[in-house]
Amino acid sequence: MTTLTAKDKQVVRDFFGKVGKNAEKIGHEALARTLVVYPQTKTYFAHWKDLSPGSPMVKKHGFTVMRGVLDAVDKIDDIVGGLLVLSELHAFRLRIDPANFKILSHNMLVVLATMYPEEFTPEVHVSVDKFLARVAVGLSDKYR
């Protein structure tokens, strides 16, 4: 399991403190990219009428995802405990394959690197990648 050092945690807090104001756009872009590049993820959203990248539902859910990520930043010292309710929701009600958390995390990294090329330094990349891996573990916790 990936361990976040005190330095990683500070890097993540600082980075998301800067980019969090664009959470809606980041979340939308990351989810839209996920649905396009990994079309198998569309099965979880079959009840939506429009899964195109600019659709209101994709934008709305992308923002919901980013609010969860920002919440995890606030709970960075106990991500698994902090994401317990979301883990239960995804495991028991939504029944999302936990592999999708890693897919979305990867797409979020791509979006962050694209939107913030100056701020997304190698150090930030490593820390944010480790953080998103911990978020994926936290969301997967109730699957065990």
Domain residue extents for the chain = 6-143
To the nearest 5 percent, what fractions of the chain are helix, strand and coil?
80, 0, 20
CA distances from 49 to 42, 45, 61, 84 (A): 11, 9, 14, 30
pLDDT tens-digit readout, 100-126: 889 999 999 999 999 999 999 999 999
pLDDT of residue 144: 64
**Per-residue confidence of the chain (144 residues) as pLDDT tens digits?**
678 999 999 999 999 999 999 999 999 999 999 999 999 999 888 889 999 999 999 999 999 999 999 999 999 999 888 887 887 877 777 788 778 889 999 999 999 999 999 999 999 999 999 999 999 888 887 776
Q: Interhelix angle for 56-74 vs 23-37, to 10°?
A: 120
pTM of the model: 0.91
pLDDT of residue 142: 76
pLDDT of residue 102: 93
CATH 2.20.25.650 fits 6-143, yes or no: no
Token pair for 17: 């403190």
